[in-house]
Amino acid sequence: VQSPAYRDDKARTVLEMLPALLTHASGSRLTVRADALVLDGPQAVLVSNNPYHKGDPAGLGRRERLDSGELGVLGVEVSSAAEAAGLLLHGRQSGGLTAVTAREVVVDADAPAIPVGVDGEALVLSTPVHCRIAAGALRVRVPRHRPGVRRTAPPMDWRRVWRLALTMGRTAAGRGAA
């Protein structure tokens, strides 16, 4: 996506541009190899440094982690503007979206070069395009109270809660008898 607004408001920019971009069959035919999986013919592919949150299929938000050692891969295949808009509404339940993770991704095409976006910059890269990730290769210091996606809460340990409740009940019963 080459738009001055992309960095400031990814969601709005993608919503405005995605249907037109995906429904014009003027691009190269892509073949994507994500580890052992092969996607043949997606109109658009997003390869991200770590996968986006499951509730954010279009990659419009933030990622919980940047150190998982996995690439997030989203392949999109739609035939109408309505299907393109449906991707944003239905997310991973949409039939036109394939979402996987991989350590290595190769994007090939029936053309010697393809247009790509790298961190908001529009580029043209020779095919095949190789994407790899190395876990822990980059260290970044961030403020402790930075804005962004909050980590998901750990699952509730109901056995521990039950033990605490029993202990508290016994303690309270022992104090009441004295």
Query: Domain holding 124: CATH number?
Result: 2.60.200.40
The neighbour count for residue 42, using CB atoms within 10 Å, is: 22
Give the C-alpha distances (Å, rounded to integers) separating 151 from 79, 136, 140, 146, 161.
36, 19, 18, 12, 22
Q: Tell me if 35 sits within 8 A of 47, measured CB to CB.
A: no
pLDDT value at residue 151: 64
Q: What is the rounded distance in angstroms from the CA atom of residue 17 to the CA atom of residue 27?
A: 15
The neighbour count for residue 89, using CB atoms within 10 Å, is: 8
Q: How many domains does the chain have?
A: 1
| Span 58-72, pLDDT tens digits | 545 666 777 788 998
pLDDT value at residue 31: 94
Query: What values do phi and psi take at 87, rounded to 5?
Result: -60, -40
ω before 128 within 30° of 0 (cis)?
Answer: yes
Nearest to 19 by CA among 61, 76, 80: 80
Q: Residue 156 is part of which domain span?
A: 1-178
- 37-40: strand order across its sheet: 37-40, 30-34, 104-109, 129-132
CA dihedral sign, ordered 22, 12, 92, 119: positive
Radius of gyration, alpha carbons of the chain: 22
| Span 83-142, pLDDT tens digits | 766 766 666 666 777 888 999 999 999 999 998 888 778 889 999 999 998 877 777 777
- What value does the mean pLDDT take over residues 19-42? 80
More confident of the two residues 25 and 78: 78
pTM, full prediction: 0.65
